Amino acid sequence: MTSTMIVLIAGLVVVLTAVYISWRAGRLDRMHIRLELAHEALEAALMRRRAVVLELAGSRLLDPATSLVLAAAAHEARMAGPEEREHAESDLSGALRAAVDQERFTEKLSESPGGQVLLEELGAAVAKVVYSRRFYNSAVGVTRTAQRRWLARVLRLAGHTEYPQFFEIDDNPPATMATE
């Protein structure tokens, strides 16, 4: 084998490796973008749920005790620091179940003026928390696997992005709003 051949082959290997690495880096980058979007969607859904619960609590359509339970849970969720967020949002799910699963709750609420609209908004907000969290955690799982790959670790393809964390809460909807 001539030395020209060796140089050519070595050159080809270097080029192919570079192409492969840049493809892998691009793929990881797209994953991070999708993860970021999924995270924004999750935040939007959680915020929407807190807002609808607060609106329901302040609507004067409920008895004062139920209103207080809901308002307190939504407030706690809104004020919670990063460490307590998963707990606070889970508690909000629990408070919602306790309120909405009361006997004849949905019937009575839908009979009052404006009640039907609020119920529908609440149903949508609750479902979207379930959906957006599923999609977010799914994106976290896929991104984690990609970041842990040997090549990604050695070449630090993920750059300065943090190792993504799952968002684990109890988001089971009230029985009358069950989606699955």
Partner 1 sequence: MKVGIVCPYSWDMPGGVKQHIDDLAQALIAQEHDVSVIAPAADDEELPPYVTGAGRAIPVPYNGSVARMSFGFISAARVRRWVRDGRFDVLHIHEPLVPSLGVLACWAAKGPIVATFHASWTRSRAIAVAEPLLRSALEKLSGRIAVSDAARKSLVEQFGGDTVLIPNGVTVSRYAHAEPLDGWGPDGATLGFLGRMDEERKGLPILLDAFKPLAAERPGLKLLIAGPGDAKDVYDRVPKALHDRVTVLGQVSEADKIRAYHSVDVFCAPNTRGESFGIVLAEAMASGATVLASDIPAFRRVLGDGQAGALFTNGDPASLAREAAALLDAPERRAKLAEEALVAVGKYDWSTVARDVVRVYETVTASGVGGVEEDL
Contact positions vs partner 1 (CB under 8 A) = 27, 30-31, 34, 37-38, 40-41, 44-45, 124, 127-128, 130-132, 134-135, 137-139, 141-142, 145, 179-180
Min separation Cβ 30 and partner 1, Å? 7
Q: Which is nearer to partner 1, 24 or 75 (by Cβ)?
A: 24
| Maximal CA-CA distance, the chain | 90
Min separation Cβ 35 and partner 1, Å? 11
Q: Which is nearer to partner 1, 51 or 69 (by Cβ)?
A: 51
Between CA 81 and CA 77 the distance in angstroms is 9
Between CA 47 and CA 61 the distance in angstroms is 22
**Hey, what amino acid is at 139?**
A
Min separation Cβ 73 and partner 1, Å? 22
Provide the residue count of the chain.
Answer: 180
Closest to 52 in 3D by CA, of 126, 106, 103? 126
Min separation Cβ 100 and partner 1, Å? 16
Q: Which is nearer to partner 1, 62 or 126 (by Cβ)?
A: 126
Between CA 127 and CA 63 the distance in angstroms is 25
